[in-house]
Amino acid sequence: MRIGKIAPALVLALAAAATTACGGGTSSSAPKELVYWASNQGTSLDNDKAVLQPELDKFEKASGIKVKLEVVPWTDLLNRILAATTSGKGPDVLNIGNTWSASLQATGAFLPFDDAALEKVGGKSRFLGPSLAATGASGQPPVGVPLYGQAYGLYYNKKLFAEAGITKPPATWEELVEDGKKLTKPDKGQWGLSLQAGQVTENSHHAAILGAQQGAQFFTAEGKPQLASDPSVAAVQQFVDLMQKDKIVNPANAEYADTAKSLKDLSDGKAAMFMNQASAGSFKNIGMDMANLGVAPIPLPATAPPNGRKVTSFVAGINMSVFKNTKNPDAALDFVKFMVSAPEQALLNKTYGSLPTVQDAYSDAAFQTEDVKVFQNVLANSAEPMPQVPQESQFETLIGTAMKGMFADVAAGKPVDGAKIRDQLNQADQQIAAGS
């Protein structure tokens, strides 16, 4: 696709919107049929289909409502949602990354989950508070309900820790750096920490977590971006310094654009630590000896900076939304209710290695293990949502891209200091403001 085709693609979508705006509606025409776009949670799209289809069949048997499933890869999901928003032609029910909630809420394309709608899917009180807080801007009805819960933790390789004489995971950021140095042996191809430094979204997540620890607020109460504030600059510097100053990250990680490489590094003993969302299932899939895998919360600084918050993760996860143009809102809500029911929550989250978003699913034995409890505790006590502002997706993209560039500079031996970081974040502020 050449650039000439980008504008036409959008415009064709807009033209489609013009011709369908009057009629509205979704792609499902039959009254008892829903179209569902699921996000890729399993090891592959086919794996997702294999996991979800039996559940959809179960739902059809109980309700008489057929659900046509399409699993959309993450690389396409946001663009597909934007196209559906523009054209009015989309699914009835869909999964969205919970960090997009406020941005998608601003489009007005999704059914607001007011109290009545929440009641129809089982009631507000069933959901975990932090997960429900990540469903849209505060003061407005949520744009969906949480489906899969996630939180960040620090995975570590127990074998490498033992070899280095380290008996417990780091409890403070300073300890993390100290342990990382002990564990870094470049001549043996072993590094203290693995980062997905070439991954825009991951970088933005870490900026948000460390930013909260440093006391950063990326947006003012009025929604004005302030990414270039002192605490934000300090947070980005702290993260980049893991490679630049502390030298506990392999510079080659600047090219790491997906999770698989970091998972493998930890599994193969090439890295001793890795900050990631709950991913025990993935470690198992790549053949890691699970006895060597430990997990702890991402540590906080020993001395909290002024206004620093005790945040070790953002409230990660997937929400389930209903497209406003659906011709079957009641059937759509029935389906959402089914998916957030305790048995489905237990089954699906167990399969995907994520966390249930409703209280009553935690009684399942699968969620009583030590590592799950670490994430559960993080989600309940030290996680805060990403900024719930309409410009959130721009925030993630711009700060994450800037950090990717900074890691590339560090890897190439170019220094990244506070002034350079501030300059980059100022540029991001200007770009966000231009689209506000």
Partner 1 sequence: MPTALDDAPAVKAAGAPKPRRARRNRRRVALPYLLLLPAILLELLVHLIPMVAGLVMSFFKLTQFSIRDFSSAPAAGLDNYKFVLDFDSAAGKSLLGSFWISIVYTVLSVGFCWLFGTSAAVLMQKNFRGRGLLRTLFLVPYALPMYAAVITWSFMFQKDTGLVNDLLGTDSFWLIGDNSFWSLVVVSVWRNWPFAFLIVMAGLQNIPGELYEAAAIDGAGWWRQFQTITQPMLRPVNQVLLLVLFLWTFNDFNTPYVLFGASAPKEASLISIHIYQSSFVTWNFGLGSAMSVLLLLFLLIVSTVYLGLTSRRRNAVV
Instruction: Give the footprint of partner 1 on this chain (CB under 8 A).
Output: 1-8, 10-12, 14-15, 17, 21, 79, 82, 85-86, 88, 103-104, 106-109, 198, 200, 252, 254-255, 257, 390, 393-394, 397-398, 400-401, 404-405, 407-409, 411-412, 426-427, 430-432, 434-436
User: β-strands 383-384, 313-314: how paired?
Assistant: parallel
Shortest CB 412 distance to partner 1, Å: 4
Shortest CB 88 distance to partner 1, Å: 8
Rounded CA separation 282/276 (Å): 11
Shortest CB 411 distance to partner 1, Å: 6
* Phi, psi dihedral angles at 414 (to 5 degrees): -90, 130
Indicate the residue among 16 and 342 with the shorter CB distance to partner 1: 16
**In 3D, which of 365, 279, 348 has the Cα closest to residue 47?**
348
Shortest CB 135 distance to partner 1, Å: 17
Burial letters for 346-364: b for 16+ Cβ neighbours within 10 Å, e otherwise?
Answer: bbbbbbbbbbbbbeebbeb
Shortest CB 194 distance to partner 1, Å: 13
Sequence-separated (6 or more) residues with CB below 8 Å from residue 364 = 346, 350, 356
Indicate the residue among 214 and 262 with the shorter CB distance to partner 1: 262
Indicate the residue among 221 and 412 with the shorter CB distance to partner 1: 412
Q: Is the dihedral of CA 328, 333, 339, 343 positive or negative?
A: negative
CA max distance for the chain: 69
Indicate the residue among 74 and 373 with the shorter CB distance to partner 1: 74
Residues 228, 211 contacting (CB under 8 angstroms): no
Indicate the residue among 82 and 366 with the shorter CB distance to partner 1: 82
Shortest CB 216 distance to partner 1, Å: 20
Rounded CA separation 268/257 (Å): 18
Quick count: other Cβ atoms within 10 Å of Cβ 144? 28
What is the torsion angle, in degrees rounded to the nearest 10, for the CA atoms of residue 233, residue 193, residue 245 and residue 300?
50
Indicate the residue among 228 and 383 with the shorter CB distance to partner 1: 228
Indicate the residue among 291 and 434 with the shorter CB distance to partner 1: 434
Shortest CB 211 distance to partner 1, Å: 20
Q: What is the DSSP letter of 301?
A: P
* DSSP annotation string for 320-337: EEEBTT-S-HHHHHHHHH
Indicate the residue among 19 and 381 with the shorter CB distance to partner 1: 19
Shortest CB 70 distance to partner 1, Å: 21
Token look-up 């993760």 returns 313
Shortest CB 34 distance to partner 1, Å: 21
**In 3D, which of 294, 303, 308, 283 has the Cα closest to residue 382?**
308
Indicate the residue among 126 and 420 with the shorter CB distance to partner 1: 420
Rounded CA separation 317/366 (Å): 18
167, two tokens? 């008996």
